[in-house]
Structure 1
Amino acid sequence: MDIIKTIVTILLVISSLLLVLSILLHKGKGGGVSDMFGGGMSTAMRSSGVAERNLNRITVGIAVTWGVCIILYGLIVKFQ
């Protein structure tokens, strides 16, 4: 059970970092914190609809992985 808990913990840390990075990569909608860090600047790649859709899909996939890891970790701790 300790091996499974370690694997889930490692997956949770990796998915947490990837989720934060993928959210920060999204194009800002104007105003707020995203403009303060250069989110208001538009480049050719970031303005692409295909790139934004792919980034949305990746972010959702990472978020689902993160959620599953949280639930598994909670179940492991509860029944240990």
Structure 2
Amino acid sequence: MELFLKIVLVISSLLLMLLVLLHRAKGGGLSSLFGGGVQSSLSGSTVVEKNLDRITVFVCVVWVICILGMGLEIKFTN
């Protein structure tokens, strides 16, 4: 179980870094390469940005669950 949590943690950490870098800052970001830069003045965010937000939150939740799981495993394995 510990090996599985470590592998998922490494994968989710790398994916989380990539997803955070894809988000648009004030001047635009890498998300504009994938269609995030095309937006009308009426809408606050595009579908690409909303999906990117959802995926980022999901990966972050997986990351937190892995951290908590490893912490509990370390605490109760003696």
Residue 41 of structure 2 corresponds to: none
- Residues in 1 aligned to 2:62 and 2:8: alpha-carbon distance in whole angstroms: 8
**Percentage identity across paired residues of the two chains:** 48
Secondary structure at the aligned position of 1:22 is classed as helix
Which of 16, 25, 35 in structure 2 is aligned with 1:45? 35
- Residues in 2 aligned to 1:66 and 1:15: alpha-carbon distance in whole angstroms: 6
Residue type at the aligned position of 1:26: H
- Residues in 2 aligned to 1:19 and 1:5: alpha-carbon distance in whole angstroms: 21
- Residues in 1 aligned to 2:58 and 2:2: alpha-carbon distance in whole angstroms: 21
Q: TM-score, normalised by structure 2?
A: 0.79
Q: How many residues align?
A: 69
Specify every segment of 5 or more residues in structure 1 that has no aligned partner in the other structure, as ranges.
Answer: none
Q: 2:3 aligned with 1:6, yes or no? A: yes
Given the superposition, is the C-alpha separation of residues 57 and 67 from structure 1 closer, same or farther in structure 2, using an over 3 Å criterion?
Answer: same
Given the superposition, is the C-alpha separation of residues 60 and 44 from structure 1 closer, same or farther in structure 2, using an over 3 Å criterion?
Answer: closer
Q: TM-score, normalised by structure 1?
A: 0.77
Residue 72 of structure 1 corresponds to: 69
